[in-house]
């Protein structure tokens, strides 16, 4: 089996239906950090009304810490094992990620920038994370949806010193095979994502400015942290709730989950620091999502329904994770 020079320690994270890590018997939740916090019947922290209002205004929200140190290490270990195997290690009929490739021409393991789509299909800990009770309950509250499916996930791995830039963009316009625009994603940090190692940047209120992907593509020269906030040449709609373009860094600590609307302007500069920046974005669909056969996307080959049919019937690559007010068990 190929090895890309990454040391591997086997340690897996397995959750039951209440978000309990069966390997450690520790709840996959964090302690209460605000007097406004509410708990559901399983003891998992729920978003407050104030947080939901903040998300509606800004288009993004830090939901707080949902993973403890041991759980973070389990996720990183399983990612390291997959990277050590490499994309060519899967037999013909083995489960595999939808996409697994090095986005650079570097062959040094310390310099590779890996893109992995649907790691949940090969790693148990990440599959459990897509069903995390706090995450799916929060997505339900932010979207007012009673049913949620996984659209896809994506590992975002920026190695120290070489991590690439993700230019300013909106998510929804890049997903043209589903409608309506799937509304909210969860972004879970496995390392501290700080300004110096290429954390995401956000533009408050931009989720209410419509589809502006063509304008954002004109900002592709913004790549380094010192210049990344220099968006120029856009005037928000006069009647918008937020009428100024004010990019801001959005640090997220390891174990925390950040939520963002699929039309929120966001991106991240190079990681030129001596710290890695690993994270996973989990994109969800609501029960109202329908297939658009005329679009193009890497997930399209796994959609097994006709045009305009509900994505809940699309197949096993789009699992149900929330239904009737409850997280669905793995």
260 phi and psi angles, rounded to 5 deg: -145, 145
> What pTM was estimated for this model as a whole?
0.87
Q: What is the pLDDT of residue 194?
A: 97
What pLDDT does residue 12 have? 38
**What confidence score (pLDDT) does residue 183 get?**
84
Q: Is residue 12 part of a domain?
A: no
pLDDT at 229: 97
Question: Buried b / exposed e across 143-155, counting CB within 10 Å, b at 16+?
Answer: bebebbbbbbbbb
In a domain, 297, yes or no: yes
Instruction: Specify the CATH number for the domain of residue 292.
Output: 2.60.120.620
CA distance 297 to 315: 16
Residue 208 has phi, psi (to 5 degrees) of -105, 15
Q: Which residues span the domain enclosing 192?
A: 48-327
From first to last of the 330 residues of the chain, give the pLDDT tens digit: 344 433 333 343 444 334 444 333 434 433 333 333 344 434 557 899 999 999 999 999 999 999 999 999 999 999 999 998 888 899 888 899 999 988 766 666 666 778 899 999 999 999 999 999 999 999 999 999 999 999 999 998 899 998 889 999 999 999 999 999 878 999 999 999 999 999 999 999 999 999 999 999 999 999 999 999 999 999 999 999 999 999 999 999 999 999 999 999 999 999 999 999 999 999 999 999 999 999 999 999 999 999 999 999 999 999 999 999 899 988
- Dihedral Cα 292, 173, 61, 40, nearest 10 deg: 0
Domain contains 238:
yes
Q: What pLDDT does residue 26 have?
A: 39
Find the helix or strand (DSSP H, E) in which 185 lies: strand 184-189
Report d(CA 17, CA 36) in Å as an integer: 25
Cα–Cα distance for residue pair 39/33, rounded to 1 Å: 12
Q: What separation in angstroms does the CA of 203 have from each of 77, 157, 235, 247?
A: 33, 22, 13, 4
Q: Answer yes or no: is 56 within a domain.
A: yes
String of DSSP letters for 188-216: EESS-B-GGGT-EEE-TTGGGS---HHHH
* Pairwise CA distance, residues 163 & 84, whole Å: 18
Question: What is the number of residues in the chain?
Answer: 330
Residue 240 lies in a domain: yes
4, part of any domain? no
Domain count, the chain: 1
Helix, strand, coil fractions of the chain, as percent rounded to 5: 20, 25, 55
Residue 22 DSSP class: T
């Amino acid at each position: 089996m190929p090895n890309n020079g990454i040391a591997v320690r086997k340690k897996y994270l397995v959750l039951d239906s209440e978000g309990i890590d069966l390997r450690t018997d520790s709840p996959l939740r964090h302690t209460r950090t605000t007097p406004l916090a509410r708990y559901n019947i399983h003891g998992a922290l729920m978003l407050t009304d104030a947080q939901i209002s903040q998300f509606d205004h800004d288009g993004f929200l830090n939901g707080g810490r949902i993973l403890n140190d041991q759980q973070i290490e389990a996720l990183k270990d399983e990612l390291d094992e997959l990277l050590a195997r490499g994309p060519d290690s899967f037999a013909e009929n083995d489960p595999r990620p939808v996409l697994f490739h090095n986005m650079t021409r570097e062959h040094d393991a310390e310099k590779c920038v890996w893109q992995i789509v649907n790691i949940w299909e090969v790693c148990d800990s990440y599959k459990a994370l897509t069903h995390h009770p706090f995450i799916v309950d929060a997505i339900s509250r932010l979207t007012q949806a009673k049913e949620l499916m996984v659209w896809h996930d994506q590992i975002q791995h920026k190695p120290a010193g070489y991590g690439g830039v993700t230019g300013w963009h909106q998510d929804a316009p890049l997903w043209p095979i589903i409608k309506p625009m799937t509304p909210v994603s969860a972004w879970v940090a496995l390392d501290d994502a700080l300004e110096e190692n290429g954390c995401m940047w956000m533009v408050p209120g931009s989720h209410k400015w419509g589809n502006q992907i063509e304008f954002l593509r004109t900002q592709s020269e913004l790549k380094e942290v010192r210049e990344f906030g220099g968006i120029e040449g856009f005037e928000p709609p006069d009647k918008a709730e937020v009428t100024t373009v004010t990019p801001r860094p959005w640090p997220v600590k390891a174990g925390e989950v950040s939520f963002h609307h699929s039309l929120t302007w966001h991106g991240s500069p190079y990681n030129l620091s001596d710290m890695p920046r690993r994270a996973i974005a989990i994109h969800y669909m609501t029960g109202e999502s329908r297939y658009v056969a005329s679009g193009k996307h890497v997930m399209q080959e796994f959609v097994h329904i006709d045009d305009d049919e509900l994505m809940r019937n699309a197949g096993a690559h789009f699992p149900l994770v929330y239904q009737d007010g409850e997280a669905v068990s793995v």
